Amino acid sequence: MKAVGNNILIEKIKEEAISKTKGGLLLTSSQKQDVRYKQATVVNCGDLVKGVKSGDSIYYDMHAGHRIEIDKQVFYVITLRDVVVVLWG
């Protein structure tokens, strides 16, 4: 499978139900809903996408994209403009 144009195929990274802040506070997933950006792994990029490649870890706008299911596996399609950060490791 291959994304086309400026589309990016991603897999969302599952968040833990409860997480701990640096200060030691425990937050449930419902308390983290005010966080606008979510983390994902790039599966594939269209030929017009620059600066992002397969395997990159990114942050993207949580309201962006469309769900797609292929062979019982769930992916999301977003556009390059929805990507806000590319993590380099």
- Output the six-digit token pair for 48: 């017009």
pLDDT band at 53 (very low <50, low <70, confident <90, very high): very high
pLDDT in the model for residue 57: 96
CA-based nearest residue to 51, from 78, 89, 77, 81: 81
Q: Which residues contact 14 (CB under 8 A, 6 or more apart)?
A: none
Nearest residue to 80 (alpha-carbon basis) of 58, 38, 14: 58
pLDDT in tens, 20-52: 777 877 766 555 566 788 999 999 999 999 999
What pLDDT does residue 16 have? 61
Residues 1-15+37-89, CATH architecture: Roll (2.30)
Residue 72 reports pLDDT greater than 60: yes
Q: Which residue has the tokens 């599952």?
A: 14
User: What is the value of pTM for the model shown?
Assistant: 0.78
* Boundaries of every domain in the chain: 1-15+37-89
Inter-residue contact 44 to 2 (CB < 8 Å): yes
